[in-house]
Homo-oligomer: A and B are copies of this chain.
Amino acid sequence: MDFLITVLGCNSAIPAQGRHPSAQVIDLLDKRYLIDAGEGAQLQFSRYRKSPMKVSAIFISHLHGDHIFGLPGLLTTLNLLGRTGPLQIFGPMGLEDMMKTFLGYAGVNELSYEVRFHTVTSPSKSLIYQDERALVYSFPLDHKVPTFGYLIEEKMKYFNLNREALERYHIPKEDRARLAEGADWVSQEGVLIPNASLTLPKRPPRRYAYCSDTRYFPEIIPWIRGADLLYHEATYLHEMVDKAHQRFHSTALQAGQIAAAAGVKKLLLGHFSSKYKDLTSLEEEARGPFPNAYAAVEGETYKL
């Protein structure tokens, strides 16, 4: 089952160096989600040939412009394209009023589809959304305004079948789907074979953690522990750690430290200051504490 992260934008507030503000498309098999919607998000969807029509839920980290100024345009375009399926939008207090007021001024008072806004307030890690494919948790970050990180975990719906056991017990093909869902099997003679004898243990679910924007904030470590991929902001090099702290941002070194302490498998750095054209030094710095670190690249798709 595919679990793909496509980076639409990974720059910080001032777009520069050809990089766009924050936005990421998450594909989990047949489901698509969006995290953040910086200006130009809808244009980036089109550039990387992803349809925004498929997006069923949007998760907004905070209300700063470089994370949301692309949302009005995206919602308007979905309306012009005649979307009918409902759209869930999660974000901090104020997001719903902000969008409705703004779209109202732009003459968009009614959409062709239903938008359900949900206010995220989690003081700790909380489950805020689930569907057939995913569980999504929010948790607080340490930024100038209320800001949330998100953890997307695949929902492990099906057991893998134990082919060898299926042969041994002569389980007919038509009964196998129910076994994958966890059912036991009863033969025509009434003999019950428990599910555990016919299936393999579920593999651990893959998990993606998104942490932007935030100061160095070790409280998140237990919430993102063991994630397959962590996207963590690294606005500055550590030589600017004071400025980072003062502006509620992290350094690449701090991102690496968080990744190492949380035991994640891979670290993707992002939310780069416009001052950095070449991102190699940020990568190198993060690799001190955490070797498997990479600077996010726009248009790239990262597979979990």
Contacts and interface: CB of A to CB of B under 8 A. Distances in A.
A88 interface: no
A15 interface: yes
A76 to B, nearest CB: 5
Interface string A38-57: 01101100110000000000
A204 interface: no
A98 interface: yes
Contacts of A72: 65, 69
Nearest to A42: B15
A73 B69 contact: yes
B63 A43 contact: no
Interface stretch (A105-113, A127-135, A225-233, A237-245): A105-113
A102 B106 contact: no
B63 A107 contact: yes
A2 interface: no
B77 A14 contact: yes
A81 B14 contact: yes
Contacts of A20: 43
Nearest to A17: B46
Contacts of A64: 106-107
Contacts of A107: 63-64, 144-145
Interface string A64-107: 11101110110011001100000000000011011001110111
A4 interface: no
B80 A76 contact: no
Interface centre among A40, A47, A66 (most CB of B within 10 A): A40
Nearest to A15: B43
Contacts of A16: 46
Interface centre among A14, A80, A101 (most CB of B within 10 A): A14
30 contacts: A13-B77, A14-B77, A14-B80, A14-B81, A15-B42, A15-B43, A15-B77, A16-B46, A20-B43, A39-B40, A39-B42, A39-B43, A39-B70, A40-B40, A63-B105, A63-B106, A63-B107, A64-B107, A65-B73, A65-B108, A66-B73, A69-B76, A95-B105, A97-B105, A98-B102, A98-B105, A98-B106, A101-B101, A101-B102, A102-B102
Interface of A: 13-16, 18, 20-21, 39-40, 42-43, 46-47, 63-66, 68-70, 72-73, 76-77, 80-81, 94-95, 97-98, 101-103, 105-108, 144-145
Given A65-B108, A98-B102, A101-B105, 4 more contacts: A15-B77, A20-B43, A39-B70, A68-B106
